[in-house]
Amino acid sequence: MPLGPYPPELLTTAQMARADRLTIESGVAGMALMEKAAAAIAAAATAFLVKTAGRRVLVLCGPGNNGGDGYVAARILRSQRFKVRVAALTPPDTLHGDARLAATSWDGRVEDAATCDFKGVDLVIDALFGTGLARDLDGPTAELILRLNAWREETKQKIIAIDIPSGVDGTSGAIRGVAVQADSTVTFFRLKCGHLLLPGRLRCGTISCAHIGIRSNVLEKIQPQTFVNEPAAWRDALRLPSVEGHKYARGHAVVISGGASHTGAARLSALAALRGGAGLVTLATPQEAFAVNAPALTAVMLRVADGPAGLSALLEDKRKNVVALGPGLGVGEASCALVETALAPSPERRAVVLDADALTSFALAPDRLREAIRAAPGPVVLTPHGGEFARLFHGQRWERTISGAPISKLERTRDAARDIGAIVIFKGPDTVVAAPDGRASILAEASPWLATAGSGDVLTGIVAGLLAQGMEPFAAASCAVWMHAAAADDFGAGLIADDIIDRLPAAWRRLVSIQP
Ligand SMILES: NC(=O)C1=CN([C@@H]2O[C@H](COP(=O)(O)OP(=O)(O)OC[C@H]3O[C@@H](n4cnc5c(N)ncnc54)[C@H](OP(=O)(O)O)[C@@H]3O)[C@@H](O)[C@H]2O)[C@@H](O)CC1
Ligand SMILES: Nc1ncnc2c1ncn2[C@@H]1O[C@H](COP(=O)(O)OP(=O)(O)O)[C@@H](O)[C@H]1O
Ligand SMILES: [K+]
């Protein structure tokens, strides 16, 4: 994962504005923050220009403080003898506050951005809009951005975005009409959710985070609930085998197999649960699939359990502390009944992981699943991909609020977790994990090679393996998503689901080497 590491908290644009305000109220001048932000941008631009022997920079400035950063960066770069042009959306004398001060510190010419050309330019700095973007871009501004992107495409020259590529919504990652395609983005203090959520993430290029004098203690007031899914967020919740430990201390996960012609998916989950660290894993198979499963297993144990009665009997062993089901299970009433058995009240705090067919089976009766989850004796983790999410959470499909603001994958996952009362892992290139209490994590990057048959079954198994060890459920879900991606990352091209399982020990070694 080449992106990161980043500071753990992710902010909305409103939270970032509050961090700025709190800092300014504490006595730091807004202009001092802007100078530092601009210095970070200028340093990134200089590094790029030196490397490519480029000299000519065009800074595109907008009407707010993002534009202010641009004017100051232009001044710094010119003092370093680069050839700098500035083009603005609005004349500098129409600006207010710090942005106006910043614009007056630039004593060069200011061109009209609507008509400016990119001839001979080695690097463009995008200072049009940052966290203050409030609605969709249109008209001459949208045309400018389209022209800029076309120039980049045609000339292969580079664009550095200040804070966030203009047009990307910092909170949701949505594109508001059009957006700049940057090669790198320098943001300040903390990343915003929109840096990691698609499609915003794809517009950012490489992302770096500069310190500009905002102190971390402002976060005590802001209380962010969203985190970058990196070990820093959950490493201290990880359970490692102890010297005096035995396999039962690491938990016993049960994975339920589908019928004779659909057994592979559950076997992937079962093996991944074992590699995920469960002390023991039992594959519960219908009698009809016993002969198919038996020769295909070694370290994973096999027991016959037919239907809800068979599963109940198996779960009488109180040491079986996790049940995972869904992969290859089949859609229908039989699967609903198995899920309800797994979630049935019991004196033990048994955890349940539901994936694939276990979710789709409730598409027409989400209330029934909600009720079963409410009665469950332990934590429940759901691992839907986009299709399963849409089927289960019909009411969550709206992409915008009534006022037109985009509703992000993050908010939809959070709402779903709250609504169903379970931890939800909404899979995809920007996997979001959310807990019913509002905590959420976003994975910064994952190999697209993970989009391969059985890959989700492996994730289900890893979640089960970590829960079996007693890891706190939100941490376990986030950690599983990270390990799954880390295993794929080490492998690279050509990955299939079995390879993810084989690479889990390497992901474990990476984790163990990080001190909590
Ligand atoms: N002290 C600080 O706070 C620090 C802030 N810093 C920097 O400031 C940036 C945030 O600055 P910001 O809040 O001024 O917002 P910004 O992104 O420049 O845009 C607002 C302007 O755009 C306008 N506008 C919005 N949407 C529009 C649309 N669709 N189409 C057209 N116009 C639109 C909006 O107009 P209005 O909505 O008021 O009509 C307003 O004029 C932040 O990203 C960082 O770079 C750093 O220097 C560190 C210290
Ligand atoms: N483009 C992508 N980039 C990174 N990861 C992806 C991408 N597409 C899917 N994934 C990941 O691959 C896995 C696929 O899971 P799923 O769709 O359930 O597959 P299956 O049902 O075949 O097991 C998920 O963990 C998901 O987050
Ligand atoms: K910008």
pLDDT tens-digit map of 204-216: 999 999 999 999 9
Confirm whether 516 is domain-assigned: no
Mean pLDDT throughout 423-437? Answer: 98
Q: Are 208 and 174 in a shared domain? A: yes
Confirm whether 146 is domain-assigned: yes
255 or 492, greater pLDDT: 255
- Number of domains forming the structure of the chain: 2
Q: Are 207 and 275 in a shared domain? A: no
Q: Which atom of ligand 2 is nearest to the CA of 268?
A: 23
Which residue of 75, 133, 137, 209 sits with most ligand 1 atoms within 8 Å of its CB, as the best mutation to test the pocket? 133
pLDDT of residue 398: 60
Q: Are 492 and 425 in a shared domain? A: yes
Q: Are 59 and 144 in a shared domain? A: yes
Cis peptide before 5 (omega within 30 of 0): yes
**pLDDT at residue 471 above 50?**
yes
Distance 428 CA to ligand 2 centre (A): 5
Confirm whether 368 is domain-assigned: yes
Q: Are 218 and 258 in a shared domain? A: no
Residue whose entry in the numeric block shows the structure tokens 């059009």: 178
66 is in an annotated binding site: yes
CA distances from 446 to 293, 332, 510 (A): 31, 32, 16
Q: Coil, strand or helix: which one is 473?
A: helix
pLDDT tens-digit map of 3-26: 568 999 999 999 999 999 999 999
Q: Are 218 and 273 in a shared domain? A: no
Structure tokens at 23: 């800092």
Q: Are 267 and 415 in a shared domain? A: yes
Confirm whether 417 is domain-assigned: yes
The domain that holds 357 is classified in CATH as 3.40.1190.20
Q: Are 329 and 406 in a shared domain? A: yes
User: ipTM for the complex?
Assistant: 0.96
Cis peptide before 199 (omega within 30 of 0): yes
132 is in an annotated binding site: yes
Mean pLDDT throughout 379-406? Answer: 83
The answer to whether 504 and 459 are in contact (CB under 8 A) is: no
Confirm whether 3 is domain-assigned: no
* Ligand with the closest atom to the CA of 160: 3
What DSSP state is assigned to residue 397? -
Per-position DSSP letters for 411-439, written without gaps between them: HHHHHHHHHHTSEEEE-STT-EEE-TTS-
Confirm whether 1 is domain-assigned: no
The domain containing residue 274 runs over which residues?
A: 231-237+247-393+401-511
Mean pLDDT of the chain: 95
The residues lining ligand 2, judged by C-beta closer than 6 Å to any ligand atom, are 356, 385, 427-429, 431, 446-448, 450-451, 453-457, 459, 484
pLDDT of residue 397: 54
Confirm whether 16 is domain-assigned: yes
318 is in an annotated binding site: no
Distance 285 CA to ligand 1 centre (A): 59
Confirm whether 4 is domain-assigned: no
Q: Which residue, of 224, 257, 290, is where some domain finishes? A: 224
pLDDT of residue 1: 43
Q: Are 177 and 293 in a shared domain? A: no
Q: In what order do the strands lie in the sheet with 432-434?
A: 9-10, 226-228, 440-442, 432-434, 423-426, 380-382, 351-354, 320-325, 252-256, 280-285, 301-304
20 is in an annotated binding site: no
**pLDDT at residue 57 above 50?**
yes
pLDDT of residue 504: 97
Q: Are 372 and 468 in a shared domain? A: yes
Distance 114 CA to ligand 1 centre (A): 18
Distance 2 CA to ligand 3 centre (A): 23
pLDDT of residue 395: 60
Q: What is the identity of the amino acid at 298?
A: T
Q: Are 195 and 282 in a shared domain? A: no
Q: Tell the residue nearest (CA) to atom 11 of ligand 1.
A: 65
The residues lining ligand 1, judged by C-beta closer than 6 Å to any ligand atom, are 20, 30, 33-34, 37, 62-69, 98, 129-137, 141, 162-163, 188, 212
236 is in an annotated binding site: no
pLDDT of residue 4: 67
Q: Are 143 and 253 in a shared domain? A: no
Distance of CA 172 to the CA centre of its chain: 11
